[in-house]
Amino acid sequence: MDQFSHGARCAGAGARCAGAGRALPAALGLLAALLLLAARRDSRVVLTSELYEAGHSRPHAECCPARGAALRLLVLVTSAPGHAAAREAVRLSWGHAALRRDIGFAFILGSLHTRDEAKADAIRAEDVLYGDIIIGNSRDSYSNLTLKTLSMLEWVHTYCPKVPRLLKTDDDMFINIPRLLKFIDARKNETRTIWGHVYEQAWPHRTMWSKYYVSPRQYPSSQFPDYTSGAAYLMTTDVVGELLKAAGQEPYLRLEDVFVTGVLASKLKIKRQHAAEFLLSAEADNKKVLYHPCTVQKGIAIHMVRFHEQFDLWRKVLDGTTKCEDA
């Protein structure tokens, strides 16, 4: 499991206690160390506003013409500096469908460390070519995923407030844009809603070595509010400002989807609606079923897609010959 970004602060508290531990017999010392470890994990409760660095170094306001007034949909794909191949596959496959004038499209990254100058150069070059990489000011890392999502919401709030719908997705997802537009059109009048693959009655992992560990102090209740999978979710943008504002006052959770579409959405009474079209590969029997042309044509989002598979799926969306029931 990754370190929390505020690990340094906790290590300070730990050092103080370790001094007391030395005076104890070995067994008690070990016990103390374990308790200390638990306490350290527990003490990692920090308000999100203390971690989040607002602003964007590469805002690309032009990715949202007229502040979104002429757009039907904005697609923002969270990506990481090292994922150039995944971004390329997205641009060359389903990203094509997002080139329509009524859709906004961009990737969103966190900032790089100054020592990563070579990586930063590569990203600049990629961005000169495509002009579709927004870079937020919070540092890019796995444990900062939640900050990346907030950076995305802040961007929408600042540069694209008039767009009616936002799709948040990742660079390993296949998105069937034509199908998504149909889905949106059939739900034109909805407000304050997030659609996606909804998880109900999920509980926080309390084993410390779990990748998804959440301490009782970070999240005391034994059950998460309903939340949508972070792989892809669609939201009405009337809630963007509220989510952003509420986020700062909450203890930070690395689980981006639980935090935004669960904890915050439930506080703000934002509806979360399950949509079967948001498919997750883990739930499919095998990729043969999931990647059948009819599944692809009826689905909106497909999870855990490798670069070369993006092209295969895109061909299936374009395939006009396979007969599917109400595809």
Ligand X SMILES: *[C@@H]1O[C@H](CO)[C@@H](O)[C@H](O)[C@H]1NC(C)=O
Residue 115 C-beta: closest distance to ligand X, Å = 13
Under DSSP, the state recorded for 278 is B
For residues 194-232, one letter each, b for 16 or more C-beta atoms within 10 angstroms of the residue's C-beta and e for the rest, the string is bbbbbbeebebeeeeeeeebbbeebbeeeebbbbbbbbb
Residue 133 C-beta: closest distance to ligand X, Å = 18
Residue 59 C-beta: closest distance to ligand X, Å = 17
CB 198 within 8 A of CB 280: no
Q: Which is nearer to ligand X, 90 or 244 (CB)?
A: 244
Residue 8 C-beta: closest distance to ligand X, Å = 9
Question: Which residues ranging from 39 to 58 are in contact with ligand X (CB under 6 A)?
Answer: 51, 53
Question: Which residues ranging from 169 to 188 are in contact with ligand X (CB under 6 A)?
Answer: 186, 188
Q: Which is nearer to ligand X, 188 or 288 (CB)?
A: 188
Q: Which is nearer to ligand X, 138 or 169 (CB)?
A: 138
- Phi–psi pair at 22, nearest 5 degrees: -60, -30
Residue 149 C-beta: closest distance to ligand X, Å = 13
Amino acid at 25: P
Residues touching ligand X: how many (CB under 6 A)?
A: 13
Q: Which is nearer to ligand X, 190 or 312 (CB)?
A: 190
CB 224 within 8 A of CB 203: yes
Q: Which is nearer to ligand X, 189 or 207 (CB)?
A: 189
Question: Which residues ranging from 47 to 106 are in contact with ligand X (CB under 6 A)?
Answer: 51, 53
First vs last Cα of the chain: how many Å apart? 41
Residue 212 C-beta: closest distance to ligand X, Å = 17
Q: Which is nearer to ligand X, 113 or 287 (CB)?
A: 113
Which x/- pattern, by CB under 6 A, does the window 126-145 give for ligand X? ------------xx-x-xx-
CB 91 within 8 A of CB 97: no
Angle among Cα 123, 128, 133 to the nearest 5 degrees reads 55
Residue 47 C-beta: closest distance to ligand X, Å = 13
Contact between 261 and ligand X (CB under 6 A)?
Answer: no
Question: Which residues ranging from 187 to 246 are in contact with ligand X (CB under 6 A)?
Answer: 188-189
Beta strand 271-274 pairing with 174-175: unpaired
* Contact residues for 152 (Cβ-Cβ < 8 A; gap 6+): 76, 78, 108, 136, 168
Q: Which is nearer to ligand X, 136 or 293 (CB)?
A: 136
Q: E strand or H helix at 48, and its extent?
A: helix 48-51
Residue 285 C-beta: closest distance to ligand X, Å = 34
Whole-number Å distance between alpha carbons of 41 and 4: 9
Token reading at 98: 């997002």
Q: Which is nearer to ligand X, 115 or 323 (CB)?
A: 115
Token reading at 296: 């692809």
The residue at minimum Cβ distance from ligand X is 5
Under DSSP, the state recorded for 270 is -
| Candidate list 5, 48, 149, 237; residue touching ligand X; CB under 6 A | 5
CB 193 within 8 A of CB 235: yes
Q: Which is nearer to ligand X, 3 or 322 (CB)?
A: 3
Q: Is 116 helix (H, G, I), strand (E, B) or coil?
A: coil
Q: Which residues bind ligand X (CB under 6 A)?
A: 3, 5, 51, 53, 138-139, 141, 143-144, 147, 186, 188-189
